[in-house]
């Protein structure tokens, strides 16, 4: 069994001062597949000090220097594609179709950030002043387990493009993936200290990063509860924060939609990444008059979904990431039944013939938007069908949530769908699809977070404007 016992500080793989060993599991079998030795506060401080030293020169690099490093990091990550797919599949349980996307996204993040930087004016003439967009300082990057490698790479790419240096705290449950990323990025030959990675617990390493005065910004992806605690703690040192948090996203199917394609699309948007994606459309809003039809189509589609071995290319749903997550999802299924929703598909317990942390893809109908399963983020393959009366009712239900990360609208009339989409309070709304565009902003309204990642917005989140009035250049 493998033990990952190195963290990365100042360009070197080092043994952490922390001694706690944390088990890594294969969620498809519950088997322990490795251990990671976790860093502690002392390790975190050493990483922050290295990033601070490196900031002095990295912050003054030219665009060309930064673009060259981003290109090398892209190539290094692309070269580890197969290893990363394997790590994501085994350690996290993402079906191979999904883990391939994640591994590609990890590599292309560096090119996306390079493109944003290339086009961006770091010195702008505004009014009577020269406005210089300066790197904010040392960035603390904290990632969750549901796409650990791609979050590390995406956050790091934009931080480096802006001229920041970074300390990364990946999810402690994703150490195998982190190790692949780390070995790749080490090959890219970055100046020592420009990026540092400390495996560790959130309430130890993450908390130190949030409190430490030498970190200027935290970019966090994870749960809304932890996001709030980071925001509170960050206030003491007035850190900038980007918080990418949870969601309870609506998929609004209009009555003119072709249900034979709309229902599968809505279910895919709800079940992607084993239902463990912040952007999942977990509340499917359907016209009341077509409820029976929607239920019948959904039941048939779910019956055809393959749940099981994530290595099988046919598999659509793999296991939950952990026993804790399995129990959480099972609890929500019980709550749905207790609150009076009707099971269309799935239900409690493992799918037939499967153990590990597999749950049954589950769909509830007769859900009202005030039920717990319609209000709280479940983070598993458990979806709700909610009926609406007319367009106004659909928009009201879509917006009746404390979240606002994502939404989907499906209609045979794209103009009508666009008009509905523009009334939904969400950072991104996909019309008739589940598109991703790395140039457009990503982030949440309301309690889904603060700030935006990707593209120019992502770059600017690591920059601080400085106005020079009366500036004269040679």
Which residues here bind ligand NAD, judged by CB under 6 A? 142-146, 169, 171-172, 201-203, 206-207, 210, 221-223, 226, 229-230, 244-247, 278, 377, 379, 405, 444, 449
The verdict on whether 31 is a catalytic residue reads: no
Cβ distance to ligand NAD smaller for residue 26 or 199: 199
Three-point CA angle 213, 217, 218, nearest 5°: 105
**SS3 state at 431:** strand
CB of 412 to ligand NAD, least distance (A): 30
CB of 169 to ligand NAD, least distance (A): 6
The verdict on whether 384 is a catalytic residue reads: no
CB of 404 to ligand NAD, least distance (A): 11
Indicate the Cα dihedral angle 350, 379, 407, 151, nearest 10°.
-120
Q: Which of 215, 223, 159 is nearest to 449 (CA)?
A: 223
Query: C-alpha distances in angstroms, 375 versus 99, 398, 432?
Result: 29, 11, 24
Cβ distance to ligand NAD smaller for residue 27 or 287: 27
Question: Which one from 244, 330, 377, 453 is the annotated catalytic residue?
Answer: 244
Cβ distance to ligand NAD smaller for residue 18 or 206: 206
CB of 229 to ligand NAD, least distance (A): 5
Return the DSSP state at 106.
H
Question: Which one from 86, 91, 172, 278 is the annotated catalytic residue?
Answer: 278
> Tokens for 294?
């929607």
Cβ distance to ligand NAD smaller for residue 361 or 458: 458
Cβ distance to ligand NAD smaller for residue 229 or 423: 229
**SS3 state at 135:** strand
Three-point CA angle 123, 128, 132, nearest 5°: 20
Conformational region of residue 32, where left means phi above 0, alpha means psi within -120 to 50, and beta covers everything else: beta
353/258 Cα distance (integer angstroms)? 35
Pairing of strands 382-388, 362-365: parallel
> Tokens for 336?
């749905």
CB of 440 to ligand NAD, least distance (A): 14
Cβ distance to ligand NAD smaller for residue 132 or 440: 440
Conformational region of residue 189, where left means phi above 0, alpha means psi within -120 to 50, and beta covers everything else: left
Among all residues, whose Cβ is closest to ligand NAD?
Answer: 202
Cβ distance to ligand NAD smaller for residue 171 or 369: 171
Cβ distance to ligand NAD smaller for residue 48 or 394: 48
CB of 183 to ligand NAD, least distance (A): 20
For 180, how many CA atoms within 13 A lie in the half-sphere containing its CB? 24
DSSP-assigned states of every residue in 3-41: EE--EEETTEEE--S---EEEEEETTTTEEEEEEEPP-H
CB of 243 to ligand NAD, least distance (A): 8
Conformational region of residue 210, where left means phi above 0, alpha means psi within -120 to 50, and beta covers everything else: alpha
CB of 28 to ligand NAD, least distance (A): 19
59/76 Cα distance (integer angstroms)? 23
> Tokens for 216?
């200027």
CB of 7 to ligand NAD, least distance (A): 14
Q: Which helix (H) or strand (E) holds 125?
A: strand 123-126
Q: Which of 184, 183, 192 is nearest to 10 (CA)?
A: 192
Return the DSSP state at 202.
I
Pairing of strands 240-244, 217-221: parallel
Cβ distance to ligand NAD smaller for residue 361 or 427: 427
How many residues belong to the chain? Answer: 474
Identify how many contiguous H helices and E strands the chain contains and give both numbers: 15, 21
**Known catalytic residues?**
244, 278
């Amino acid at each position: 069994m493998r033990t990952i016992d190195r963290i990365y500080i100042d360009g070197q793989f080092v043994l952490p001062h922390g001694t706690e060993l944390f088990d890594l599991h294969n969620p498809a079998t519950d088997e322990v597949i490795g251990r990671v030795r976790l860093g502690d506060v002392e390790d975190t401080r050493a990483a922050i000090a290295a990033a601070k030293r490196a900031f002095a020169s990295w912050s003054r690099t030219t665009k060309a220097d930064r673009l060259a490093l981003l290109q090398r990091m892209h190539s290094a990550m692309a070269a580890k594609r197969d290893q990363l797919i394997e790590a994501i599949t085994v350690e996290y349980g993402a079906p191979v179709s999904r883990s391939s996307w994640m591994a590609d996204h990890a590599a292309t993040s560096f090119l996306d950030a390079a493109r944003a930087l290339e086009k961006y004016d770091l010195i702008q003439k505004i009014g009577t002043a020269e406005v210089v967009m300066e790197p904010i300082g040392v960035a603390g990057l904290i990632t969750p387990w549901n796409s650990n490698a791609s979050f590390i790479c995406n956050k790091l790419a934009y931080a480096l493009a802006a001229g920041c240096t970074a300390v990364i705290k990946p999810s402690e449950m994703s150490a195998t993936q982190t190790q692949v990323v780390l070995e790749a990025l080490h090959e890219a030959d970055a100046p020592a200290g420009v990026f540092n990675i400390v495996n560790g617990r959130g309430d130890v390493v993450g908390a130190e990063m949030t409190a430490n005065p030498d970190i200027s910004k935290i970019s966090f992806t994870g749960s809304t509860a932890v996001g709030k605690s980071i925001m509170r703690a960050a206030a003491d040192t007035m850190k900038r924060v980007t918080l990418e948090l949870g969601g309870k996203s609506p998929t609004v199917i209009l009555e003119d939609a072709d249900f034979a394609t709309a229902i599968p699309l809505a279910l895919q948007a709800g079940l992607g990444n084993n239902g463990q994606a912040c952007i999942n459309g977990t509340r499917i809003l359907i016209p009341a008059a077509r409820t029976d039809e929607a239920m019948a189509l959904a039941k048939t589609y779910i019956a055809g979904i393959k749940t099981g071995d994530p290595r099988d290319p046919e598999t659509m749903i793999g296991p939950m990431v952990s026993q804790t997550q399995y129990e959480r999802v099972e609890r929500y299924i019980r709550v749905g039944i207790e609150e009076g929703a009707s099971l269309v598909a799935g239900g409690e317990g493992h799918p037939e013939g499967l153990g590990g942390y597999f749950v049954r893809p589950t769909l509830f109908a007769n859900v009202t938007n005030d039920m717990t399963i319609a209000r709280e983020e479940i983070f598993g393959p458990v979806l709700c069908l909610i009926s609406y009366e007319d367009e106004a009712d659909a928009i009201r239900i879509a917006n009746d949530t404390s979240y606002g990360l994502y939404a989907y609208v499906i209609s045979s009339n794209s103009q009508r769908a666009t008009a509905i989409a523009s009334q939904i309070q969400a950072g991104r709304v996909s019309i008739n699809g589940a598109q991703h565009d790395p140039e457009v902003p990503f982030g949440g309204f309301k309690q889904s977070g603060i700030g935006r990642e990707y593209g120019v917005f992502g770059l600017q989140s690591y920059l601080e404007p400085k106005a020079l009035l009366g500036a004269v250049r040679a």
